[in-house]
């Protein structure tokens, strides 16, 4: 499972000119579910996102988490994070999980993030979304948790 965390002043997701999620200061998190990912990866990744220090303290040091600043999050499913571009000019997405597996894992990720104390909204799985990000910094971090063989 992969996540791209973007520290934002504001974020918004629209589908068909209708706002489906909107936050102020916090994180817009793009989540890609890969083959073999389970709730274990979703839980670990959500916990990491909640406590990762990405925000500046009073001295200007990146010392605070989204929880510390009482920020919010928007979670957007993005299978293209699993693009394989090693051959040719067209990305391959065969490493991305089937939507029947990916959708509940994205939802579980968002639920785990909310349980960690981060108010969380979701984009619309499988929809064509317009994602507006006012990246603050800019600060963007890639997290990845791969399944451990034989563990669930």
Provide the annotated active-site residues. 78-80
Cα distance between residue 41 and residue 143, in whole Å: 11
Do you know the residue count of the chain?
152
- Dist. CA 6–CA 142, nearest whole Å: 9
Contact 78, 109 (CB under 8 A): no
- Three-state secondary structure along 96-130? ECCHHHHHHHHHHHHHHHHHCCCCEEECCCCCCCE
**Do the beta carbons of residue 113 and residue 1 sit within 8 Å?**
no
């Amino acid at each position: 499972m992969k996540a791209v965390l973007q520290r934002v002043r504001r974020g918004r997701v629209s589908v068909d000119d209708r706002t489906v999620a909107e936050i102020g200061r916090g994180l817009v998190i793009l989540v890609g579910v890969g083959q073999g990912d389970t709730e274990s990866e979703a839980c670990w990744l959500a916990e990491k996102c909640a406590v990762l220090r990405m925000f500046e303290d009073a001295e200007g040091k990146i010392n605070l988490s989204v929880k510390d600043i009482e920020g919010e999050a928007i979670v957007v499913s993005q299978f293209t994070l699993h693009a394989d571009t090693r051959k040719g000019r067209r990305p391959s997405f065969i490493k991305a999980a089937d939507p029947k597996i990916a959708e509940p894992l994205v939802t579980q990720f968002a639920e785990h993030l909310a349980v960690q104390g981060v108010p969380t909204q979701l984009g619309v799985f499988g929809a064509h979304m317009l994602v507006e990000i006012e990246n603050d910094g800019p600060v963007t971090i890639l997290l990845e948790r791969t399944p451990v063989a034989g563990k669930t």
